[in-house]
Amino acid sequence: MFVNLQAINKQKVIMGTFATINIENNLSVVNNGFELLKDIENNLSSYIKTSQVSILNNDKKIEPSKYLKEILTLSNEYYKDTNGYFDISIGTITKDLYKFGTNSQRLPSQEEIRASNLSKVLVHDKYIHINSKSKIDLGGIAKGYAIDKLYNYLIQNSTTKGILKLSGDIRCIDMCEVYIQSPIEENATLMKFKTNQNNISISTSGTYNRYIKNKKNHHLINPKTKYPAKSFISVTLISHGNNTKIDAYATAVSVMPIKIALDFLSDKKMDYILMDVNKKVYKRTNLFINLF
């Protein structure tokens, strides 16, 4: 059967942001791709009351979907990789105390923060269990995970060219150009580069306009201190074909002290572009990208 491929660039709002599929294929493949993203959102979004994450946060125990079980298993793995700087139980603070992403955003008191406790997420064969006072927040990994699932679907359906984007998470199916938005000036570029091979994953995390009252009270909470991180305002990681991992790693690096972050990245097979709070840039760009 002959299938007429065409250049398609479509965008929809998914996971509270714009999802873009820009590929050469047919329209039905693109539409099915958006349905896949929507299915993942319906499972993993804490802003949908009927999602698996919302039910787990309320009931503290659930028989998980394949998406929830897989992403929680990976989250526990990345918790260990990052020495606890990536911690989805941060939802206890981001959801219950700061209430980020809602109309009730607030600055919690020091007493509330001190009294909060982060705890492990227990993944069993048939169910997931969290502490009675815990909530999980997948905001630091879910978009990367969704991009990976979308990429796999598109590759299985004969897609060979294009770019996928979900907020700060990007997948270049073939080689592409990427512009990193400046965290300081809204319409400015921090850095631009071209990928030098196919199937490259990019994840950017930063303080970009998500804060309460002032930029010091941003949404990137250090799980070690329980307060907004003080080291970086922009973190971009680039690797070969794994958005889930680098989304989690970018979240973790964003809240690490500078030396710990650089030590952590030193033996990882990935490029990076970091800007600290003093506007100093740290970069390694010799593996997967070429600056221009």
> Please, what is the angle between helix 66-81 and helix 243-255, to 10°?
50
CATH for 51-129?
A: 1.10.3980.10
- For the 175-291 domain, the top CATH level (class) is alpha beta
Run of H or E including 129? strand 128-129
pLDDT, position 206: 84
- Domain assignments of the chain as residue spans, ordered by start: 1-46+138-162, 51-129, 175-291
251 has binding-site annotation: yes
Sign of CA dihedral 52, 156, 73, 246: negative
Q: Which amino acid is at 229?
A: A
Q: Which amino acid is at 208?
A: Y
Phi, psi for residue 6 in degrees, rounded to 5 = -140, 155
247 has binding-site annotation: yes
140 has binding-site annotation: yes
Q: At a CB cut-off of 8 Å and minimum separation 6, what does 219 contact? A: 94, 98, 100, 139, 207, 210, 211, 228
pLDDT 10s digit of each residue in the chain, 292 long? 334 456 999 999 999 999 999 999 999 999 999 999 999 999 999 999 999 999 999 999 999 999 999 999 999 999 999 999 999 988 888 777 776 766 777 777 777 777 676 778 999 889 999 988 889 999 999 999 999 999 999 999 999 999 999 999 999 999 999 999 998 888 899 999 999 999 999 999 987 655 555 455 567 888 898 888 889 999 999 999 999 999 999 999 999 999 999 999 999 999 999 999 999 999 999 999 999 9
CA atoms within 13 A on the CB side of 242: 12
Q: What is the pTM of this model?
A: 0.92
Angle at 91 between CA 87 and CA 96, to 5 degrees: 155
Encoding tokens for residue 79? 């918790």
Cα(111)–Cα(155) distance, integer angstroms: 50
Cα(159)–Cα(180) distance, integer angstroms: 25
pLDDT, position 2: 39
